[in-house]
């Protein structure tokens, strides 16, 4: 269209993807994020936001529920090394927390000479990267490294085979030396549309960051802003040593941690605006007027958005008060538990199926012959010692 001789062109503004996934030909892996550090950034973001951290922990707890329906599996050892043992319930906790944080989880299976799984070790998902794929979209290798982004060292990378329990495949992988075989890696992603899924918090990354920044701002105000600040005008000091001694004396006077409340100025202007070089010390006090309600509206909106990102977790589950919850016989809380059990049922089903396809190859026949790997939903008011989620 034209207006007053000018031409205008309409364009559709494309919203950039929240996470960039690209193949690194040099490393032979798919990078997870622009700096190949998306999972690390997500973890740090959640841990810096009180609402996100609370929501992720609660989501994880609901996925774990009351443990496996097959009660014995909760206490059965599924992995052991020099650092200790991991039971079925502990494995479930690790996988659930990984999904709450990253929307995915991973395990490393140890395999013996009889081609049976002897151990299932949960992996930190942030250490996992998928190798390049073939023409059918299949990746034969998974790579592990503690630092994929900043501080990355290629010689620290561990290569694992993708999960495939075909006997001929295993024999080729082991290549006659079981002692050097690192096992296989099994991945569970809650979003199959991408190579790497977006984390539940992804849509609210800005909100979580804002909540963290507000918290830091408040902390800064409490540490310095709630107290008066002072400007001290003093006569010109002849030597740097004398200047440093004055600074130390004043800092000692006001106490540690409050040095930012003090501003030193050499000389000052008199009432006529003239600079006075040979003046004595003059102290000006600046009172602070802090409005602690300034972010109240923001905080409520931010917290609500973050809760929505974690599968619409009800506010009462992570931001409750004793009067509201227990003053009404806990009925509202019970309904919230029922609702969120429904919201997280897909995750429990996916983990059950995930473990079922692995554990059937376990060398322990008791574990291998378990026909039901279902997870019991969390039941409010019912204590189940076999599936307790207390850490």
> For the segment 79-137, what is each residue's pLDDT rounded down to a tens digit?
999 989 999 999 999 999 999 999 999 999 999 999 999 999 999 999 999 999 988 88
The continuous run of DSSP H or E covering 336 comes out as helix 331-343
User: Are both 38 and 84 inside the same structural domain?
Assistant: yes
3-state secondary structure of 318: helix
User: Are both 271 and 374 inside the same structural domain?
Assistant: no
| Residue 330 forms part of a structural domain | no
Confidence of residue 324 (pLDDT cuts 50, 70, 90): low
Overall average pLDDT of the 299-311 stretch? 94
Distance (Å) of CA 77 to CA 84, 92, 349: 10, 12, 22
| Residue 314 forms part of a structural domain | no
| Residue 334 forms part of a structural domain | no
E-strand ranges in the chain read 2-3, 6-7, 21-24, 29-32, 77-81, 84-87, 104-111, 117-123, 128-130, 141-144, 158-162, 184-189, 229-234, 262-266, 268-269, 275-276, 282-286
Overall average pLDDT of the 54-67 stretch? 97
User: Are both 130 and 260 inside the same structural domain?
Assistant: no
Number of domains composing the chain: 2
CA–CA distance, 369 with 120 (Å, rounded to integer)? 16
CA–CA distance, 114 with 178 (Å, rounded to integer)? 10
Mean pLDDT computed over every residue of the chain: 83
User: Are both 178 and 35 inside the same structural domain?
Assistant: yes
Confidence of residue 214 (pLDDT cuts 50, 70, 90): confident
| Residue 43 forms part of a structural domain | yes
Distance (Å) of CA 220 to CA 110, 172, 261, 287, 294: 49, 60, 12, 16, 15
Q: Is the pLDDT of residue 262 over 90?
A: no
User: Are both 114 and 71 inside the same structural domain?
Assistant: yes
Overall average pLDDT of the 245-258 stretch? 64
User: Are both 111 and 194 inside the same structural domain?
Assistant: yes
The strand pairing partners of 357, in sequence order, are: none
| Residue 219 forms part of a structural domain | no
| Residue 109 forms part of a structural domain | yes
User: Are both 175 and 48 inside the same structural domain?
Assistant: yes
Overall average pLDDT of the 148-161 stretch? 92
Lowest model confidence (mean pLDDT) among 201-210, 286-295, 310-319: 286-295
User: Are both 35 and 68 inside the same structural domain?
Assistant: yes
Range of the domain at 180: 21-202+345-387
User: Are both 198 and 232 inside the same structural domain?
Assistant: no
| Residue 244 forms part of a structural domain | yes
User: Are both 254 and 188 inside the same structural domain?
Assistant: no
Q: Is the pLDDT of residue 330 over 80?
A: no
Tell me if 148 sits within 8 A of 129, measured CB to CB: yes
User: Are both 169 and 237 inside the same structural domain?
Assistant: no
**Strand 184-189 with 2-3, pairing:** unpaired
Q: Name the range with the highest mean pLDDT among 132-136, 199-203, 321-325, 382-386.
A: 199-203
Confidence of residue 239 (pLDDT cuts 50, 70, 90): confident
Lowest model confidence (mean pLDDT) among 171-175, 186-190, 285-289: 285-289
**Strand 128-130 with 2-3, pairing:** unpaired
169: CB partners within 8 A, 6+ apart? none
| Residue 29 forms part of a structural domain | yes
Q: Is the pLDDT of residue 269 over 80?
A: no
The strand pairing partners of 266, in sequence order, are: 234
The strand pairing partners of 232, in sequence order, are: 264, 283
Confidence of residue 388 (pLDDT cuts 50, 70, 90): very low
At residue 359, φ and ψ (nearest 5 deg) are -65, -20
CA–CA distance, 311 with 200 (Å, rounded to integer)? 8
CA–CA distance, 333 with 390 (Å, rounded to integer)? 19
Q: What's the token pair of residue 105?
A: 């989880």
Nearest to 149 by CA among 294, 38, 238: 38
The strand pairing partners of 349, in sequence order, are: none
Per-residue confidence (pLDDT) for residue 389, from 0 to 100: 42
Q: Is the pLDDT of residue 234 over 70?
A: no
């Amino acid at each position: 269209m034209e207006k007053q001789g000018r031409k205008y062109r309409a364009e559709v503004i494309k919203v950039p993807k929240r996470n960039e996934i690209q193949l690194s030909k040099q490393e032979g892996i798919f990078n997870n994020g622009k700096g190949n550090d998306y999972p690390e950034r997500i973890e740090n973001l959640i841990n810096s936001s009180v609402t996100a951290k609370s929501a992720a922990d609660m989501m994880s707890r609901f996925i774990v529920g009351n443990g496996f329906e097959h009660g014995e599996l909760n206490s059965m050892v599924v992995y052991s090394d020099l650092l200790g043992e991991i039971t079925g319930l502990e494995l479930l906790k690790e996988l659930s927390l990984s999904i709450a944080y990253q929307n995915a989880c991973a395990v490393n299976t140890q395999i013996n000479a009889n081609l049976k799984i002897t151990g299932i070790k949960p992996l930190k998902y942030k250490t996992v990267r998928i190798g390049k794929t073939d023409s059918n979209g299949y990746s034969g290798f998974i790579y592990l490294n503690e630092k994929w982004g900043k501080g990355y060292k290629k010689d620290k990378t561990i290569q694992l085979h993708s999960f495939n329990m075909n006997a001929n495949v295993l024999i080729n992988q082991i290549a006659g030396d079981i002692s050097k075989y690192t096992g296989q890696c099994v991945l569970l992603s809650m979003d199959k549309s991408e190579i790497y899924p977006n984390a539940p918090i992804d849509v609210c990354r800005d909100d979580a960051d804002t909540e963290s920044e507000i918290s830091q701002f408040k902390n800064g105000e409490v540490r310095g802003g709630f107290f008066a600040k002072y400007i001290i005008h003093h006569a010109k000091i002849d030597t740097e040593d004398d200047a440093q001694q004055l600074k130390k004396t004043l800092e000692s006077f006001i106490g540690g941690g409050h040095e930012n409340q003090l501003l030193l100025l050499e000389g000052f202007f008199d009432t006529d605006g003239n600079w006075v070089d040979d003046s004595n010390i003059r102290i000006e006090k600046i009172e602070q007027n802090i409005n602690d309600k300034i972010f109240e509206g923001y905080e409520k909106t931010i917290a609500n958005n973050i809760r929505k990102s974690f599968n619409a977790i009800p506010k009462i589950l992570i931001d409750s008060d004793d009067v509201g919850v227990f003053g009404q016989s806990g009925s509202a809380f019970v309904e919230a538990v029922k609702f969120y059990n429904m919201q997280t049922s897909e995750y429990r089903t996916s983990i059950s199926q995930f473990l079922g396809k692995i554990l059937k190859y376990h060398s322990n026949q008791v574990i291998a012959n378990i026909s039901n790997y279902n997870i019991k939903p969390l039941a409010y008011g019912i204590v189940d010692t076999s599936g307790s989620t207390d850490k």
